Amino acid sequence: MTEKSLLPTNWKPFTRFPSLFDEENGFFSDLMKFSGESGLSICDDNGTVVVEAAVPGLKPDDIEISLDSGTLWVKGQKSEKEEDKKRKYYRKSSRSYSYCTSLPDTVDTEKDPKAQCEDGILKITFTKKKNTEPKKIKIKKR
């Protein structure tokens, strides 16, 4: 017969279940995608427009960049390769990033942008159109 103690114990009945707050679970991390924490910035820098995207853990070969009608797409994905078939995984993580943004009208989409990836930051540099000043329109009098 087992004895039961009246002393407080540190019993956690849900330790075998993944936490909702666990980053790899994705429940709350998916909500964060809509909170403005996108990891993407666009700035005007001396005749160029620079787009920076956070892609930690990815190599240039894992990233795909496309430009369609002034819309920039940055997609990246990396998953761990299963090298040992005998190994049993309890949890296996992968990384994926997807950014989509409209570029400013000042970007010259006819010229090829330059892209480089360093320390988890993808930097895409676009040249600006030469005549980016606003055009004034005169009103005719009757």
pLDDT in tens, 119-135: 999 999 999 988 767 78
What is the C-alpha to C-alpha distance for residues 124 and 64, in angstroms, rounded to an integer?
12
Q: 59-62: long-range contacts (C-beta < 8 A, 24 or more apart)?
A: 59/117, 60/117
Asked if residues 72 and 125 have their Cβ atoms less than 8 Å apart, the reply is: no
Task: Judge whether residue 79 has pLDDT over 80.
Answer: no
**pTM score:** 0.62
Q: Which of 70, 45, 37, 40 is nearest to 55 (CA)?
A: 40
As a whole number of angstroms, the distance between CA 99 and CA 38 comes to 8
Distance CA 102, CA 9 (A): 56
Nearest to 110 by CA among 133, 130, 134: 130
Which range, of 3-17, 48-62, 78-92, 103-117, averages the lowest pLDDT? 3-17
Quick: pLDDT tens for 20-42: 555 555 555 454 444 445 789 99
Q: Could you give all domains of the chain from N- to C-terminal order, each with its CATH number?
A: 37-79+95-127 (2.60.40.790)
Q: In whole angstroms, what is the distance from residue 140 CA to residue 37 CA?
A: 48
